[in-house]
């Protein structure tokens, strides 16, 4: 039996400067009463951080930010990285990554094998220090379709049996970029990955420093094998865990509008980029900023290790290439 109640977000002090409106019982809240085009007071920043820690992903509506305002908003919460360590950034805005409808077409050829977890991922877990958070801004949004889903990996951890939790607490796994199962990499994908190879070993269960919460840190698009298991053992265990984190009761689904913002704790969530847009004729354009993350630490106190590549650092003029 799952034990959802154990991980229901704990009550905390009522926010006094913003409105926080939960969207499901276990993940996601909409925030009102704040204008993100303006510099934010420290008290507002603290309340947004508290809402993020509790609800894992928070949403804002009607915030038509420019790229520079997006960077300014993100910078109130941490240090923006370069847009993407492998796939670049928006010309003239090195901290901004373009989430364009057809971005995968230049990376992968062919049809992926569709599994219940196909497309679910946590951002850039190939890096030894995946981003702490991601802030995605909707600009060009289809009239229907293109919703994004997030899942709460802390609740997913609690939903495993105690016996399985005790086992996965001891495991680590290897993460890297590769096309979805059944698809070939394009030459451009191969070249970009060779230019910035990123392979890391992370614990399967990591601990959020501020809360002590344990999260099932499995990122289906990146996590390829569990260290120390036979290949078939690893595959079957990962399939079980990937399918588990995609259970609908752990998730929230967000309908975008132009000017919508989604801000997620990348340490405690995975998300699913929509696939229905490929069968529609509409454009979809969003922009993402990621905040520099720390190296995750497992239940045993062991940090993640880089097998290939440097950490994904905060943007400086010298590392935007």
Among 44, 136, 237, 252, binds ligand SIN (CB under 6 A): 136
Q: Where are the alpha helices (DSSP H) in the chain?
A: 42-55, 67-75, 153-158, 162-168, 187-195, 231-245
Known catalytic residue at 108: no
Closest CB 150 distance from ligand SIN, rounded Å: 9
Q: Is 74 in the site for ligand SIN (CB under 6 A)?
A: no
Place of tokens 């926080």: 20
Which SS3 state, helix, strand or coil, does residue 269 take? Answer: strand
DSSP string, 195-243: HS--EEEEESEEE-TTT--EEE---TTTEEEETTS-HHHHHHHHHHHHH
DSSP for residue 255: -
DSSP string, 106-137: TTEESPPPP-TTTTEE-TTTTSSS--SEEEEE
Closest CB 97 distance from ligand SIN, rounded Å: 8
Among 99, 141, 168, 238, binds ligand SIN (CB under 6 A): 99
Q: Is 252 in the site for ligand SIN (CB under 6 A)?
A: no
Closest CB 119 distance from ligand SIN, rounded Å: 9
Among 288, 291, 304, 315, binds ligand SIN (CB under 6 A): 288
Among 125, 148, 158, 193, binds ligand SIN (CB under 6 A): 148
Known catalytic residue at 288: yes
Active site residue: 101, 123, 137, 267, which one?
123
Which SS3 state, helix, strand or coil, does residue 273 take? Answer: coil
Place of tokens 């990962």: 238
Backbone angles phi, psi at 162, to 5 degrees: -60, -40
Strand 29-32 relative to strand 57-60, pairing:
parallel
Specify the residue, 99 or 160, whose C-beta has the smaller distance to ligand SIN: 99
Among 79, 273, 299, 320, binds ligand SIN (CB under 6 A): 273
Q: Is 98 in the site for ligand SIN (CB under 6 A)?
A: no
Cα radius of gyration (the chain)? 19
Instruction: Tell me the residue number closest to ligand SIN, measured at CB.
Output: 148
Strand 261-265 relative to strand 133-140, pairing:
antiparallel
Specify the residue, 98 or 234, whose C-beta has the smaller distance to ligand SIN: 98
- CA atoms of 28 and 15, how far apart (whole Å): 16
Q: Is 218 in the site for ligand SIN (CB under 6 A)?
A: no
Answer whether 10's CB lies under 8 Å from 154's CB.
no
Known catalytic residue at 165: no
Known catalytic residue at 271: yes
Closest CB 230 distance from ligand SIN, rounded Å: 31
Active site residue: 101, 107, 121, 196, which one?
121
Closest CA to 58 of 36, 16, 27, 29: 29
Specify the residue, 237 or 252, whose C-beta has the smaller distance to ligand SIN: 252
Binding segment (CB under 6 A) for ligand SIN, from list 68-76, 83-91, 191-199, 269-277: 269-277
Q: Is 86 in the site for ligand SIN (CB under 6 A)?
A: no
Strand 223-226 relative to strand 305-308, pairing:
unpaired
Which residues make up the interface to ligand SIN (CB under 6 A)?
99, 123, 134, 136, 148, 271, 273-274, 286, 288
Catalytically active residues are 121, 123, 271, 288
């Amino acid at each position: 039996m799952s034990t959802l109640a154990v991980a229901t977000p704990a009550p905390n002090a009522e926010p006094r400067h913003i409105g926080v409106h939960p969207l499901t019982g276990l993940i996601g809240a909409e925030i009102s009463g704040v204008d993100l085009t303006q510099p934010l007071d420290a008290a507002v920043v603290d309340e947004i951080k508290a809402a993020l820690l509790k609800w894992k992903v928070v949403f804002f509506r009607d915030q038509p930010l420019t790229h520079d305002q997006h960077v300014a908003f993100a910078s109130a919460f941490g240090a923006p990285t370069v847009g993407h360590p492998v796939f670049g950034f928006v010309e003239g805005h090195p901290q901004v990554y373009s989430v364009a409808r057809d971005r995968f077409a230049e990376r992968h050829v062919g049809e992926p094998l569709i599994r219940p977890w196909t497309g679910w991922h946590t951002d850039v877990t190939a890096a030894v220090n995946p981003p702490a958070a991601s802030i995605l801004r909707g600009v060009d949004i289809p009239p229907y379709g293109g919703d994004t889903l997030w899942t709460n990996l802390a609740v997913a951890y609690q939903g495993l049996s105690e016996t399985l939790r005790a086992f996965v607490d001891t495991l680590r796994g290897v993460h890297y970029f590769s096309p979805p199962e059944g698809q070939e990499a394009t030459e451009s994908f191969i070249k970009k990955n060779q230019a910035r190879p990123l392979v890391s070993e992370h614990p399967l269960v990591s601990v959020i420093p501020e809360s002590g919460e344990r999260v099932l840190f499995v990122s289906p698009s990146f996590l390829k094998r569990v260290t120390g298991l036979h290949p078939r053992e690893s595959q079957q265990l990962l399939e079980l865990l990937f399918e588990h984190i995609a259970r609908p009761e752990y998730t929230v689904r967000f309908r975008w509008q132009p000017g919508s913002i989604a801000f997620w704790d990348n340490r405690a969530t995975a998300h699913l980029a929509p696939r229905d847009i490929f069968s529609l004729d509409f454009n979809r354009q969003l922009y993402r900023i990621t905040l520099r993350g720390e190296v995750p630490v497992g239940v045993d106190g062991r940090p993640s290790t880089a097998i290939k590549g440097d950490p994904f650092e905060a943007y400086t003029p010298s590392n935007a290439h």
